[in-house]
């Protein structure tokens, strides 16, 4: 997507009546049963040629990371790692688009322990929205064990507003990332790095460009 299309999409979302979303959410019957399914690695998503992204590679905004830092006292790099499933090779440089939450050796989110999210109050925006994502004109609903319950109109309205906020924030972040790395950012150019990849990368997250040395388990 180019910047103009992203801006147009943001304009549409700003003027969209959340009621449209609320009805879809109400119909879903969602209420989280804290099963942790979405926090664990369940399958890979083939997002582009040669890119298999684990279902729980959780993309986070810098704001999400700062919120977890405030809540836990952990350091940035203990919480998040460069998103190795979203990289661009540019001569000798590797550009990484954004951050994902760290996962343990079993592939689970590091904050999923003893069958619960240990940072529930500070969890990232994307986790707060799950299992809902914005589709083109309606709400897309992912696999979730909490879709057999009831959701109140108030909770559905809150979720509708959150979804809209999340989508607008994500699109604004895309715009800033495109401005940071220019027309190298095309889906066809995206690559994933092997988990054992070990060298320096540049991470663009829409706020800053930072250098990181990837080591084993990154």
Binding residues for ligand SF4 (CB under 6 A): 32-39, 58, 101, 109, 111-112, 117, 119, 123, 127, 130-131, 144-146
CB 215 → ligand SF4: shortest distance, Å?
A: 22
Nearer to ligand SF4, 6 or 141 (CB): 141
Nearer to ligand SF4, 23 or 31 (CB): 31
CB 127 → ligand SF4: shortest distance, Å?
A: 3
Local structure of 167: helix, strand or coil: helix
CB 132 → ligand SF4: shortest distance, Å?
A: 9
CB 151 → ligand SF4: shortest distance, Å?
A: 12
Nearer to ligand SF4, 141 or 168 (CB): 141
Percentages of the chain per state (helix, strand, coil), in multiples of 5: 40, 25, 40
| Distance (Å, whole) CA 160 – CA 166 | 10
| Span between the terminal Cα atoms of the chain, in Å | 28
| Distance (Å, whole) CA 49 – CA 156 | 36
Q: Where are the beta strands (DSSP E) in 135-182?
A: 139-141
Nearer to ligand SF4, 99 or 130 (CB): 130
Query: Which DSSP letter does residue 98 get?
Result: S
């Amino acid at each position: 997507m180019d910047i103009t299309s992203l801006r147009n999409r943001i304009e549409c979302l700003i003027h969209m009546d959340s009621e449209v979303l609320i009805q879809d959410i109400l119909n879903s019957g969602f209420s989280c049963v804290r099963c942790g399914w979405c926090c664990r690695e369940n399958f890979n998503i083939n997002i582009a040629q040669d890119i298999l992204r684990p279902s729980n590679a959780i993309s986070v905004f810098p704001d999400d990371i700062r919120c977890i830092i405030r809540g836990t006292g952990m350091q940035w790099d203990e919480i998040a790692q460069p998103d190795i499933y979203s990289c661009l090779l540019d001569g000798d440089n590797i550009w990484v688009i954004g951050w994902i939450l760290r996962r343990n050796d079993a592939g689970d989110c590091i904050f999923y322990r003893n069958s619960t999210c240990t940072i529930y109050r500070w969890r990232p925006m994307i986790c707060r929205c799950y299992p809902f994502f914005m589709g083109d004109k309606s709400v897309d609903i992912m696999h979730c064990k909490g879709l057999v319950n009831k959701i109140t109109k108030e909770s559905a309205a809150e979720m509708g507003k959150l979804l809209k906020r999340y989508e607008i924030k994500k699109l604004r972040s895309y715009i800033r990332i495109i401005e940071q790395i220019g027309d190298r950012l095309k889906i066809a150019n995206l690559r994933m790095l092997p988990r054992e990849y070990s060298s320096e990368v540049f991470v663009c997250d829409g706020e800053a460009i930072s250098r990181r040395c990837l080591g084993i388990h990154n």
